[in-house]
Chain A
Amino acid sequence: MAKSPLSTYGLEKTGSLASRREGFFARFSKHPATPFLIPAVIYLFALTIYPFLYSVGASLFNLSLTSPKPPSFVGLANYKTLLSDGLFYTGLANIGIITVSSVILEFIIGFSIAHLFIAISDIRASHLLRTIYILPMMVTPVVVGLMWSYILDPLFGIANYILGVFGVPPQPWFSSPNTALWSIVFINVWQWSPFLMLICMTALMSIPNDMYEAAQIDGAKWYHIVTRIELPMIRNTVLVGVIFRIIDNFRLFDIVFATTRGGPGRSTEIISLYAYRQIFQYFNAGYGSAAAVIIFIIATIIATFAVKFLPKEAIHA
C-alpha cells in the first residue's frame, strides 16, 4: 500500500476526520499528478467554461447593452429568431466554402513547397527562404487584411497594375460578388499555407529513406511515391494540422472585416462577423450570445468528428 502524505510527514491518524483526510491524500498518492492540474483547471474554468456558461445564460435573455430597460427572460426565442434568419445560414454556407477550399489549397501548396524545401535543403539559403516563407503566418490577420486591401485595390493597388502590364484587364477583387469570396480564400491560403508546409515538411522528413530507395528499385513514378508512400505515411500528422486549420477557419473574422465587411451584398458574410455585428455594433448581447453559442456547438461537433476520424496513434503521438 502506498504511503500516505500524512504518514510521510509524521502525522498519525487521530480519529475519523483524520481517516477521511488520509483517504483524500491517499487518492492523490495514487495519482500524484492531480494537484498539478489545478492551475490548468482554474485557467480553463475562468477563461473558457465560465464565459461559455455566461454566454449560454445571456442568450436566454433579451439583453441590450444600450437599453435602459432591464434584461428580460425570453427562453429560446433568440435561438428561434436566429435559426430563421437567412443571413445566418448564408454566413454558415460561406464559412463552409472558405474552410473547405482554403484547407484543400493550403494542403496542396504546403505539401508542394515542403517538397521544394526538402529538395533544396543542401543550399545554404534554404533556411532563410523557409523563414521568409513562414512570415505571413506571424502577421496579425487584421494587418494581413489591410495589406491585401491595398494590394488588391482596383484603382491604386499593385495587383491590377501588374496584371495590366501583361494585358489583363483590372479585376474587381473584393467588389464583385463573383470574386470577393475567392479573394478572401486567396488571402487566407497565402497566410496559412506555411503552417501546413511546416507540418508536411516535418512529416516527410520522418519517412525513412529505405522506402524511397525501395520504390525507385521497383520503378515507381513520382505520383506512385506520393500516393502510395508519402500520403499514407504523413496522413496522421497532417490530419492534426488540418483539424487545427478547420477550427481556425471557423473563427475567421479579421480578414473579412478589414476587406469587405461581408459584402458586396451577402457574398462574404460569415458567422463570426454576424455574431460580432450583433454584439459589438448593435449591442444585442442576448441575440449575439445565441449566435456565439451556435457557432461554439457547430465547432465542437466538427472537432469531435475530426478527432474521431483520427487514428488513436495520431492522438497519442
Chain B
Amino acid sequence: MPIYPFVMKSVKPFSFRWLAPAIAAACTFTAHADNVDWTTQLKKADGKTLRIIMIQDPWVKGFDTIDKEFQKLTGATVVVDSFSYDDVHQKEVLMGNNKSDSYDIVVLDSPWVGEFQQGGYVVDLKPYVEKDSAIIAWDDFVPSFQQVATWKGQYVGIPFGAYFVMFNYRTDLFQQAALQPPKTIEDFFNAAKSFTKNPKFPGMFGTALNNQRGAAVGQAYFEYIFNFGGKPFVSMYPGSPDPYADMTPLLTSPESIAVVQFLKDMLPFQPPGALNIAWDQRANAFATGRIAMVGEWSVREPLYSDPNRSRVVGKFGTEVFPAKQGVKPVPPLGGWVMGINTNTKQKDLAWDYIKWFTSKDTHKKFVLIGGPPSRLSVMQDPDVLKQSPWIQTVYESQSLTFADCRPRIPESFQIIDKVGLHISEALEGSVTIEAAMKAANQEIGSLLKQAGYKVSESPNQ
C-alpha cells in the first residue's frame, strides 16, 4: 500500500493552506533523494553497537562492505549475525517471546510478517516511514513487496531483499535442440523429457525440483498452485480483497491434485536422488551443468554467473516462471524485510540504519555487489542491468506476482510443512495423491479452525 494515504490522513483540513508548498518541498527533496546529505540525516552514535540478525544468504557478505560507510557516518559499529533459515526464525521468535534486546534489527522472511506483528515482536514503522517519506520513497519498492512488508495496517519492516522464483534455462542446449525457452508448464514438461536420457545430451537431466519432505516440497506446491490456475485456500488468489477472509483449504481441488501429479510426473526427468532434492541441490545441479532448466529464487542468479563456482557462465538465460497454458503466470515472491525489535533500547539508531540501508543510493550499491534488487528504480538502472541482465526478468516478474503466494500468518510454517509431508508421501508412492491431499486438507483445515480462522465444514471446491 502506498504511503500517501497515511500522509493524507494525518493532514488536518486547515493544512491545505500549506499543503502545496509541502508537496513542492517534498518533490524537491525527492529529486535530490539520491544524493541525501547523510551527515544531517543520521545522528552521531559514537561507541554504540548496532546488532542485526539475519539469514545466512549469499548477499550477507555485502553488508561488511556497505556497513563501513554507516560506521564512518555515525561512529556506530554494526554487527551482523547470520544463521540458517530455520535457526534465524527460531532465534528471532524466541528473542521476541523472551522480550530480549540482544538484537536491534531483525530481518524477516515474508511468511513471518504476520507472526511477528501479531506477536508484538517488532515496532510499527509507520510513523518512521511518514517522518522520512522522501528518503524511504515507499512507492519505489516493488508494489507486491510493499504489501509483504505490511500486516493489518502496520509497517512490519522495510523491504530490502525481494526474491522471485525465475526460470533459468541453458541457452546453448536449447539452441542445439532447436527448442524455444518454455513459456508454459506444458513446454517445461516436454523440454525436461527431451533432455533426459537423450544420447545427444549425455549425462544431462531435464530439471531438478524441490522434492524433499517438509518445507522444500511444501513450498514447491505454493510455487505452482497459482500457476495451475488454482488456489490453496478459498480467499487466497491474486487480486483477492482479503486473502485470509476464508481459509477453507482447497488441497483436494483438481488444480491441487494436478500440481502434485506434475511433481510426480517430473521425477523421471531429474537427477538420481530426486526425492531428497531441496534448494541447494537444485541450484548446484544447474550450476554444475547437469540439468537443462531450473526454477530457482533470483538470489541464486549470481552463483550461475560466478566462474569460480559455475560451469554455465554465459550459457544460460532467464524467463518468467511458467504457468499452465491459458493461465496468467504468478511468479512466486519471497524475500526479506528489516524490522526493529520492540525491546531494543536503540530504536532511533536502528531506524537510522534501516533508513540509510534501504535508501535508493545505498540499495543500488548493495545490488551492485550482489544484493537482491527490491526497488523499481534500481531494477531499471542501466548500471545494474549492464552488470546483471537477469534483473530484467526480475522486473517483469514483479508486476505479475502475488504478495500472499505463501501464507503470511503465524501458522504458515506448519501449513507448508504439513503439505510437504503429505506430498512427499505421495511422491514416494506410499499413498495415492488423492489420499495424501485429502489428509493434508483435513489436518490443515482443523489447524486453521483451531487457530480461529474461518474454515467451512465442506470445502467449496
Contact = CB atoms under 8 A, between A and B. Distances in A.
Nearest to A257: B86
Interface in B258-291: 271-277, 281, 284-285, 288, 290
B275 A262 contact: no
Given A265-B213, A265-B428, A175 B414 contact: no
A281 B273 contact: no
Contacts of A173: 273
Contacts of B285: 155
Given A66-B118, A155-B285, A265 B430 contact: yes
A67 B212 contact: no
Contacts of A177: 428-430
* Interface size class of chain B, counting residues whose CB lies under 8 Å from the partner chain: 35 or more
A245 interface: no
15 contacts: A66-B97, A66-B119, A155-B271, A155-B273, A170-B272, A174-B273, A176-B275, A261-B212, A262-B214, A263-B276, A264-B428, A277-B417, A281-B413, A282-B414, A283-B410
B274 A175 contact: yes
Interface of B: 86, 89-90, 93-94, 97, 115, 118-120, 212-214, 271-277, 281, 284-285, 288, 290, 410, 413-414, 417, 421, 424-425, 427-430
Given A155-B285, A175-B275, A263 B93 contact: no
Nearest to A282: B414
A68 interface: yes
In the A-B complex, list the 8 residue pairs whose CB atoms are closest, starting with the nearest: A263-B213, A154-B273, A154-B272, A175-B276, A265-B425, A175-B273, A175-B275, A264-B428
A178 B429 CA distance: 11
Given A66-B118, A155-B271, A175-B276, A280 B212 contact: no
Interface in A154-206: 154-156, 160, 170, 172-177, 180
A65 B273 contact: no
Contacts of A235: none
A267 interface: yes
Contacts of A154: 271-273, 276
A177 B427 CA distance: 11
Contacts of A65: 93-94, 97, 119
A260 B273 contact: no
Given A154-B271, A156-B284, A156-B288, A260 B276 contact: yes
B275 A172 contact: yes
Interface of A: 64-68, 87, 153-156, 160, 170, 172-177, 180, 260-267, 277, 280-284
A283 B412 CA distance: 11
Contacts of A68: 118-120
A263 B119 contact: no
What secondary structure prevails in chain A residues at the interface with B?
Answer: loop
Contacts of A64: 410
B424 A67 contact: no
Nearest to A153: B273
A282 B275 contact: no
A298 B203 CA distance: 49
Given A155-B285, A263-B213, A267-B428, A283 B93 contact: yes
Given A67-B118, A87-B421, A160-B272, 7 more contacts: A175-B273, A177-B430, A262-B214, A263-B428, A277-B417, A281-B417, A283-B410
Contacts of A160: 272
Contacts of B288: 156
Nearest to A85: B443
Contacts of B429: 177
Contacts of A67: 118-119, 410
Contacts of B421: 87, 262-263, 265-266
A277 B213 CA distance: 13
A263 B118 contact: no
B447 to A, nearest CB: 9
Nearest to A160: B272
Nearest to B414: A282
A67 B277 CA distance: 33
Contact of B213 (A153, A172, A261, A281): A261
Contacts of A172: 272-273, 275
Contacts of A263: 212-214, 275-276, 421, 424, 428
Interface centre among B90, B93, B275 (most CB of A within 10 A): B275
A266 B425 contact: yes
A260 to B, nearest CB: 7
Of the listed residues A68, A154, A180, A265, the one surrounded by the most CB atoms of chain B closer than 10 A to its CB is: A265
A180 B414 CA distance: 24
A260 B276 CA distance: 7
Contacts of B427: 264-265
Given A67-B119, A67-B410, A156-B284, A264 B272 contact: no
A189 to B, nearest CB: 21
Contacts of A153: 273, 281
Contacts of A266: 421, 425, 430
Nearest to B112: A66
B1 to A, nearest CB: 23
A174 B118 contact: no
B93 to A, nearest CB: 6
